[in-house]
Structure 1
Amino acid sequence: MSNSQYEKTTKNGVVRYRGRGKYDFETVHSIIDEAPILHVSFTPLDDDFPAILPMFGCMGLFPSDDTNSVGRTSSLYLHGYAASRMFRTSRGEDAGLKITVAATILDGIVLALTPNHHSANYRSAVVFGHAYLVTDEAERWWAMKHVTNSIVPERWENTRIPPTDAEAKATGIIRVEIETGSAKIRTGTTGEDRNDLKDEGLRKRVWAGVLPMWTRYGQPTPAPTNMTDKTPEYISRFVDDSNKQQEDYAMKVAL
């Protein structure tokens, strides 16, 4: 692993469409941070079958509060229920529980002239690492704040904090020291069979193109228990900025 990217190996190397592979920290880590859900795979102590869990998580470098340091961070923090199988398994692994984490962002469905050439525009990342249960209280509190604000910026500061002792004990934090990883990105329009492109009748009969796709946040809906007068500005700003950013990217890469 260099100072700026993961070394390409048989473990993390992109095999199909190798030109789409990316190994630099910034690309891999930014996809992990932007994906709404991470899928974490591990083998529990009490089962022969691998387990896979959807989890919240983000890149971070304790004790820094610099959330824009994706180019120099190497730790992935995961947030979950302290009594779950993954957290119980991590306690018994002094060398770190081996896990694989996948993140995917779908940016569009690509409809070609023939089903065999259909595809998708996407950004995906897979990292391999060793997971450690965070027991240091300073790091635990830092990570809880960091993960919360990675979901909606400024949310931690605008809630009832700190959590109660019972809430804190029920919350597990895992730090993943990444051994290696890679990203794979597809952009653009259709890639057609050369013979199909010569068939004007086919091209006039079958629509081909891209259906851009992005995550869009809707109008904030107050809870029945909510007593504030209006949606806070930091939430409205996040919704507007995120929606615009996601839409702009999906439309740009559809061309």
Structure 2
Amino acid sequence: MIGQMGSFEYPSASIDEPLDCYLHGYVSSRIMNLARNCPEGQGLPICVATSKVDGLILSLTPNSHSYNYRSAILHGYASLVTDEEEKLWAMKLITNSVLEDRWDHSRVPPDRAEMQSTVILKVKIVGGSGKIRDGGVSDERKDSDNEQVTKTVWTGVIPVWETLGAPIPSGDSQVAAIPEYISSFIAQKNSQNQALAEGAVKVQLPPEEQH
């Protein structure tokens, strides 16, 4: 599902302030029906999980192979957003989380049929946890001290990042040029993703190579 953190009551709230999780879905999907059938005032108990891989950790032994990653789990209670103003706000929030400023560069607002077929779940967060693995290879001493192994097995990190490709126009649009807000978003996102993946390695140079 597509989702985004935000606060309708305090739109300028940052990530270190209380936020709700808004989820976008189709009106007849199972999770929407479960939330709709919950007793009023309770909400649907829900767990939201997400993860992002930043690198492949290639160690001396298969048992020590790993990933660099970022992950988070949220626990809360989900209810359907029935206020139309909040629903439109959440739809804009989620749309712009996919591509910045896309909402204002598309045909909006949604028509009545689109509003009726779309459901927004608002998850009130009651708990959560996050986990990050970064850094380089971590081998056991019995392997890292074994020259026969270290001289024959390559170790290191292969950074992994999502890359947005060149836009391919549809046959319906009569706009030939790629809008600047799209091309600049792609360039910025690709640069950010690469920097995050490579920065997660945090290679520690030997003392003689440090400056």
Q: Is the 8 A contact 1:105 1:122 kept in 2?
A: yes
Per-residue displacement from partner, 1:63-107 (whole Å, max 9, x unpaired)? 4443x6112132000001011111111012120100100010100
Instruction: Give the 5 Å matches for 1:63-78.
Output: 63-66=9-12, 69-78=14-23
TM superposition score normalised by structure 1: 0.76
- Which residue matches 1:85? 30
Instruction: Give the 5 Å matches for 1:126-205.
Output: 126-205=73-152
CA RMSD of aligned residues (A): 1.1
Mapped partners of 1:204, 1:226: distance in 2: 57
Mapped partners of 1:63, 1:171: distance in 2: 21
Mapped partners of 1:64, 1:159: distance in 2: 25
Mapped partners of 1:238, 1:73: distance in 2: 27
- Which residue matches 2:55? 108
Amino acid at match of 1:58: Q
Please tell me whether Structure 1 or Structure 2 has the larger radius of gyration of its CA atoms: 2
- Which residue matches 1:57? 3
Mapped partners of 2:187, 2:144: distance in 1: 40
TM superposition score normalised by structure 2: 0.92
- From 72, 76, 81, the equivalent of 1:125 is 72
Amino acid at match of 1:191: S
Amino acid at match of 2:15: V
- Which residue matches 1:228? 175
Mapped partners of 1:225, 1:201: distance in 2: 62
Per-residue displacement from partner, 1:143-194 (whole Å, max 9, x unpaired)? 1111101111100000001111001110100000011001000101000110
SS at match of 2:151: helix
Per-residue displacement from partner, 1:96-119 (whole Å, max 9, x unpaired)? 100100010100010100011011
Q: Work out the number of aligned pairs and report it.
A: 200
Per-residue displacement from partner, 1:173-224 (whole Å, max 9, x unpaired)? 0000011001000101000110111111111111111110011100011112
Identical-residue share of aligned pairs (%): 44
Unaligned runs of 5+ residues in structure 2 are 204-211
Mapped partners of 1:142, 1:74: distance in 2: 14
The answer to which structure, 1 or 2, has the higher relative contact order (CA under 8 A, 6+ apart) is: 2
Q: Is the 8 A contact 1:87 1:172 kept in 2?
A: yes
Mapped partners of 2:197, 2:36: distance in 1: 41
Q: Is the 8 A contact 1:63 1:142 kept in 2?
A: no
SS at match of 1:205: coil
Instruction: Give the 5 Å matches for 1:13-52.
Output: none
